[in-house]
Amino acid sequence: MKTAATEMFGIEAPVFAFSHCRDVVVATSKAGGFGVLGAAWMTPEHLEQELKWIDDHIDGLPYGVDMVFSSTSTTVDFKESPRDILPKEHREFINHLLDEDGVPPLPEDEEKGWYAEYARNLAFSPEASEALLDVALRHPVKLVVSALGVAPDHIIKRVHDHGAKFGALVGSVRQAQKQVEAGVDLIVAQGSEAGGHTGQITSLVLWPEIIDAVAPVPVLAAGGVGRGRQMAAALALGAEGVWCGTIWLGTVESELTPDMREVLYAARPEDAIITYGYTGKSCRAIRSKYTEAWLRPDAPQPLKTTPLQSILSGEPFRRVERARRKDWMTYSAGQIVGRVNEPTTVKNVMYDMILEYAEAIERLAQINEA
Amino acid sequence: MKTAATEMFGIEAPVFAFSHCRDVVVATSKAGGFGVLGAAWMTPEHLEQELKWIDDHIDGLPYGVDMVFSSTSTTVDFKESPRDILPKEHREFINHLLDEDGVPPLPEDEEKGWYAEYARNLAFSPEASEALLDVALRHPVKLVVSALGVAPDHIIKRVHDHGAKFGALVGSVRQAQKQVEAGVDLIVAQGSEAGGHTGQITSLVLWPEIIDAVAPVPVLAAGGVGRGRQMAAALALGAEGVWCGTIWLGTVESELTPDMREVLYAARPEDAIITYGYTGKSCRAIRSKYTEAWLRPDAPQPLKTTPLQSILSGEPFRRVERARRKDWMTYSAGQIVGRVNEPTTVKNVMYDMILEYAEAIERLAQINEA
């Protein structure tokens, strides 16, 4: 296979794997694709550790990092506990529901230790982004992706000077055009069926619109891609490759706990719903008692100011994880979660994808010979 | 091109055009596709007139009809005016908003004449469906499609005895399986980006799931298809053809008023939103003051019992049409409405679609040669 994306990075198959897990990054690059580490909420120390591990295991193959480049700071200024900055009404609402349903509270040391660190990592600032970029550029990363927003000129220049490409994830034609004007080399166009923060336009409609709007800048197709026929569809629509996230969550390499993995195996496409309860923004995640709670008539409005609702979610998520309460667990996932049904490996997912892709191409050829 | 769908009907291109307009039906069949007349809310007399016109103009080419086969009756029992069966709160809410915004009320003769007929046609029953089918089967229809619900055995048998195929529109794997168990010959799988009543799963994710679930029954791909690359994607995903509705609305052949056509030309994909204000069910239609009205905090809950909300919508829609108030106009349309931008013809749409399809196939071949 030969597309602008395979040529850009010298890879065999234009399959880009977004993952918070270094094992998935390494396994996809080794299987002929391209792994991208989601680094947005890591500390510089943590990112250094992950990239060193990747360098030690990836056999010199290309990989990338994905982070948030913010132009404004979100300060999280709390004294002892993240609770101090959250509205009492919100905390009490969700914690009361968990109490009532028999989910034990956090031990006090967790609240002050783990929870405080968790909350601090969610706040971002230009300085924090640049500190992460400093780490990334000490490693042979070949692609830096902005998960949210347009990066400042000097950031894109630093990445280019490093010899790497700069990409950006977008959910609309307008966002794509802004990114191209800012000088990105690659657009990741994400349809509404994607997991995480997502827009309203579906992949089938959005991809070709963005592809036409930013040509000749290459576009990777994201949102709803987890099998070979979807990859064939993406290339038929004009994409230069695919960008997948959800499909890796069920692999043995993924970062998820065994409980969370089981939640994903059980989820159908219609369980990957839009919730505002997770982060305060439109986010596709698995339906659970947690997402349902925020739809109750007595629920307070989710906190819109980033990252308050995410910080708020931290405590209940941790309570639920400790109590192993799968009925309350949620995680960002797209509608393709319906294909995440049993333990498998990254290599198997890649193999199945390429095989089904080849079958789809063969079928198309037969249709058109006649 | 050769697929199960082109073979089933002896057509050149597997492009099925759903339209309420006989001109679109004839023009698509003449352009090598297959026209399907939306007959659900016609009287038998009206349908007879439309099918006679089609027979007189279609040069013996195949075409179909689409209707609702209900197993339960919806009785609409009003004395003088449809208003009699609607909650006063709902009528007053929406009419008051129109009054306030300067949209004149209906003349009294319209209210008792046009509106009463409009409302009666919206009610359905097994007897009404069968009366429409009686008409259809006096014509050389080659396909009857159930737009909603599983048809009784004897209906499917009547269609088969006529030498025609029976199809069904579905929005989930479960619905598709039920239809196949009932004996349909063809499934139309419709993703959430479609216009009209629609489910939650997007085309990219839904189509291959349904295709696999009902194989070897052929599947047409609906929802988000309006250009050749989307057709190539549908076939890559395993569909035997495409089923399009929205893309014909902007053609000079379409049934829409010039005002409504202009509303569609101006609409972007994100303007094709889900509303409950149109029919009481999840329906994708163009955002306007009418759809926004039903999202106001002081709006009553849309009427869930079919066809009450549709009957309710009749009066304001007519007021708005008479007053030529485009800011209040809405119409069922899918996200592909972003491609409906200027007057064109059915023939041009078909030509562009096939041309872009061929280019997409050629591009795929180049990608895979390498």
Name A7's Cβ contacts closer than 8 Å, sequence gap at least 6.
none
Q: Report how far residue A202's alpha carbon sits from residue A194's, in angstroms, rounded to the nearest whole number.
A: 9
Q: Is residue B296 a part of any domain in this protein?
A: yes
Q: Which residue of B has its CA nearest to A193?
A: B202
| B242 falls within a domain | yes
End-to-end CA distance of chain A: 25
Q: Model confidence over A322-354: pLDDT tens digits?
A: 999 999 999 999 999 999 999 999 999 999 999
Which of A122-131, A201-210, B275-284 has the lowest average pLDDT?
A122-131
Looking at the structure, do residues B137 and B197 belong to the same domain, yes or no? yes
pLDDT above 70 coverage of chain A, percent: 99
Given a cut of 90, is residue B72 above it in pLDDT? no
Least Cα separation, residue A108 to chain B (angstroms): 42
B111 with B184, same domain: the answer is no
> Percentage of chain B surpassing pLDDT 70?
99
- Looking at the complex, report in whole angstroms how far the Cα of residue B312 sits from the nearest Cα belonging to chain A: 27
Given a cut of 90, whether residue B114 has pLDDT beyond it is: no
- The least confident of A169-183, A206-220, B122-136 is B122-136
- A232 shares contact with chain B (CB less than 8 Å): yes
B270/A contact by beta carbon, under 8 A: yes
B331-365 pLDDT tens trace: 999 999 999 999 999 999 999 999 999 999 999 99
Q: Number of structural domains, chain A? A: 1
CB contact under 8 A, B237 and A229: yes
Which residues in chain A have their CB less than 8 angstroms from residue B3's CB? Answer: 367
CB-based contact (8 Å) between B237 and chain A? yes
Q: For residue B38, give every residue at least 6 positions away whose Cβ sits within 8 Å of its Cβ, in sequence order, or none.
A: B18, B19, B20, B66, B147
Name which of A2, A205, A225 is nearest B193 (Cβ-Cβ).
Answer: A205
Considering the domain architecture, whether residues B65 and B182 belong to the same structural domain is answered as yes
pLDDT digits (tens, 9 = 90+) for A94-138: 999 999 999 999 998 887 788 888 888 887 788 989 999 999 999
Shortest CA distance from A200: residue in chain B: B270
Would residue B337 count as lying in a domain? no
Q: Are residues B60 and B33 in the same domain?
A: yes
Instruction: Please write down the HEC assignment for all residues of chain A.
Output: CCCHHHHHHCCCCCEEEEECCHHHHHHHHHCCCEEEEECCCCCHHHHHHHHHHHHHHCCCCCEEEEECCCCCCCCCCCCCCHHHHCCHHHHHHHHHHHHHCCCCCCCHHHHHCHHHHHHHHHCCCHHHHHHHHHHHCCCCCCEEEECCCCCCHHHHHHHHHCCCEEEEEECCHHHHHHHHHHCCCEEEEECCCCCEECCCCCHHHHHHHHHHHHCCCCEEEECCCCCHHHHHHHHHCCCCEEEECHHHCCECCCCCCHHHHHHHHHCCHHHEEEECCCCCCCEEEECCHHHHHCCCCCCCCCCCCCCHHHHHHHHHHHHHHHCCCHHHCCCECCHHHHHCCCCECHHHHHHHHHHHHHHHHHHHHHHHHC
B47 lies in the same domain as B143: yes
Q: Based on C-alpha coordinates, what's the Rg of chain A?
A: 20
A205 near B CB under 8 A: yes
pLDDT (tens digit, 9 = 90+) per residue, A269-291?
999 999 999 999 999 999 999 99
pLDDT of B78 over the 80 cut = no
Q: Are residues B186 and B50 in the same domain?
A: yes
Does residue B214 sit in the same domain as residue B130? yes
Task: Name the residue in chain A with its Cα closest to that of B199.
Answer: A270
CA distances from A191 to A4, A16, A38, B203, B333 (A): 21, 16, 19, 11, 19
Mark which residues 286-345 of B lie under 8 Å from A by CB: 335-336, 338
pLDDT > 80? residue A73: no
Q: Does the beta carbon of A225 lie under 8 angstroms from any beta carbon of chain B? A: yes
Are the beta carbons of A237 and B229 separated by less than 8 Å? Answer: yes
Q: Is A193 on the interface with B (CB under 8 A)?
A: yes
- What would the mean pLDDT of A202-215 be, rounded to a whole number? 98
Q: Do B193 and A204 touch (CB under 8 A)?
A: yes
Residue A193 pLDDT exceeds 80: yes
Q: Which of A202, A270, A338 sits opposite B224 (nearest CB)?
A: A202
CB atoms inside a 10 Å sphere around CB A17: 30
pLDDT of B113 > 90? The answer is: no
Looking at the predicted structure, is the pLDDT value of residue B70 above 80? Answer: no
Nearest to A2 among B229, B238, B370 (CB): B370
A95 found inside a domain: no
Residues B112 and B244 in one domain: no
Range of the domain at B154: 4-73+124-252+343-369
Q: Classify residue B334: in a domain, yes or no.
A: no
The answer on pLDDT for A71 being more than 90 is: no
Residue A79 included in any domain: no
- Check residue B370 and give its pLDDT: 67
- CB–CB contact B232 A360 (8 Å): no
Q: How many CB atoms lie within 10 A of CB B305?
A: 8
The residue behind tokens 């139309």 is B188
Of A1, A200, A365, the CB nearest to B367: A1
Q: What is the pLDDT of residues B16-50, one digit of tens each?
A: 999 999 999 999 999 999 999 999 989 999 999 99
Nearest-CA distance B74 → chain A (Å): 29
From the list B204, B225, B338, the residue facing A230 with the nearest CB is: B204
Q: Domain with A217 in it: what CATH number? A: 3.20.20.70
Percent of chain A with pLDDT over 90: 87
Task: Find, in chain A, the residue whose alpha carbon is nearest to that of B369.
Answer: A1
CA distance A235 to chain B (A): 7
Q: What was the pLDDT predicted at A370?
A: 67
- Pairing assessment for the beta strands A272-275 and A283-286 based on DSSP bridges: antiparallel
Higher pLDDT, A305 or A29: A29
Q: Is residue B245 part of a domain?
A: yes
Distance of residue B335 Cα from the nearest chain A Cα, in angstroms: 7
- pLDDT averaged over every residue in chain A: 95
B151 and B228 both lie in a single domain:
yes
Say how far apart CA A50 and CA A336 lie, in whole Å. Answer: 27
With respect to residue A176, please indicate whether it lies within any of the assigned structural domains.
yes
What lies within 8 Å, CB to CB, of B221 at 6+ separation is: B189, B203, B207, B234, B237, B239, B241, B242, B243
Mean pLDDT along residues A15-44: 97
**Per-residue confidence band for A27, with pLDDT thresholds at 50, 70 and 90:** very high
In this model, does residue B243 exceed pLDDT 70?
yes
Question: Residue B165's beta-bridge partner residues?
Answer: B143
Q: State both tokens at A305.
A: 């100011």
